[in-house]
Amino acid sequence: QVQLVESGGGLVQVGGSLRLSCAASGRTFISNAMGWFRQAPGKGREFVAAINWSASNTNYADSVKGRFTISRDNDRNTVYLQMNSLKPEDTAAYYCAAQKGLYYSDYANPREYDYWGQGTQVTVSS
């Protein structure tokens, strides 16, 4: 059993920053691919960023490249998403997700993820 809990969302002005955290729990927790997705009202779930176990691979949606940074601390079983230079279009519910197993593939496909958090809301205002 794996549980993911996001935190760090909130209201921020355009150009501001937020850091989201995703804490994973479970004694049997094993995950190579960890990712962040977001979903705005009336929109589908959108890939944001992904990272493998060693952090040798990171991947980002074009819309957030250069602004967002994904990282992880395996000793703490925590994944982070540092969001800088926030824009109104970044407004969404952000979800942390994890894949089972040791492989890092199809990282942008939400169907490939086995565990999901409940989400944390990020709102960017002018």
CA angle 55, 30, 48 (to 5 degrees): 50
Burial classification of residue 48, based on how many CB atoms lie within 10 Å of its CB (0-12 exposed, 13-18 middle, 19 or more buried): buried
Look-up of token digits 């982070």: 80
How far is it, in rounded angstroms, from Cα 121 to Cα 93?
4
Does 31 score more than 80 pLDDT?
Answer: no
Q: What is the mean pLDDT of residues 29-45?
A: 90
What pLDDT does residue 29 have? 62
Instruction: Look at residues 70, 71, 78, 72 and name the one whose alpha carbon lies nearest to residue 25.
Output: 78
Average pLDDT, the chain: 93
- How many H helices and E strands in the chain? 0, 11
How far is it, in rounded angstroms, from Cα 55 to Cα 70?
9
26 falls in which pLDDT band (50, 70, 90)? Answer: confident
Q: What is the mean pLDDT of residues 53-76?
A: 95
